Amino acid sequence: MSTFKEYAKRAKERMKNGFWEQTRNNIKTERQVAATMGLDERKVGEEGKRMLERRIYDYDGFCEEQEFYDKVVEILESDELVSNPIMRLADKDYMATLTPAERQSYISKLAAKYRAAVEKYRSIHK
């Protein structure tokens, strides 16, 4: 299926399912929660809009990022002590195909992505 047709199909689904009303309500609720927690409402609203843009224009990347974040949350909230969360998140089959230099680069990028997810988690769950 062409990209244009795929975008049109997703847009139609969003309109039929009340996506925009729900999104508007979610952003409004997040701003209210941020105000009660003493966080910057504007910053929270902007982050919500950025997430919305990624969800619409980079759907596959958004889903992948959300899946990664969910794994990080699972690690952080588990009662188990995880000594090496980076290797738990790594794709071992993919790493097996890499050279040592590529493997190091992959792990470094994964570690940066992990740090960003932990910071996001901590900012939300203060």
Residue 55 has pLDDT above 80, yes or no: no
* pTM score above 0.75: no
Question: Contact at 8 Å (CB) between 91 and 81?
Answer: no
Tens of pLDDT, residues 21-52? 888 888 888 888 877 877 777 777 787 788 78
CA dist 120 and 125 (Å) reads 9
Paired tokens of 47: 């982050």
Tens of pLDDT, residues 65-108? 888 888 999 998 888 888 889 988 998 898 899 898 998 988 99
Residue 112 has pLDDT above 70, yes or no: yes
Q: Would you place residue 114 in the very low, low, confident or very high pLDDT band (cuts 50, 70, 90)?
A: very high
Residues 50-72 have a mean pLDDT of 78
Say what the pLDDT of residue 13 is.
84
Question: Contact at 8 Å (CB) between 37 and 126?
Answer: yes
Say what the pLDDT of residue 111 is.
92
CA dist 26 and 34 (Å) reads 12
The SS3 of residue 79 is: coil
Residue 126 has pLDDT above 70, yes or no: no
Residue 11 has pLDDT above 60, yes or no: yes
In Å, how far are 75, 109, 111, 121, 124 from 118, measured between CA atoms? 10, 14, 10, 5, 10
68 half-sphere exposure, CB direction, 13 A CA radius = 22
Tell which residue, 71, 64, 67, 66, has the closest CA to residue 86. Answer: 71
Residue 7 has pLDDT above 80, yes or no: no
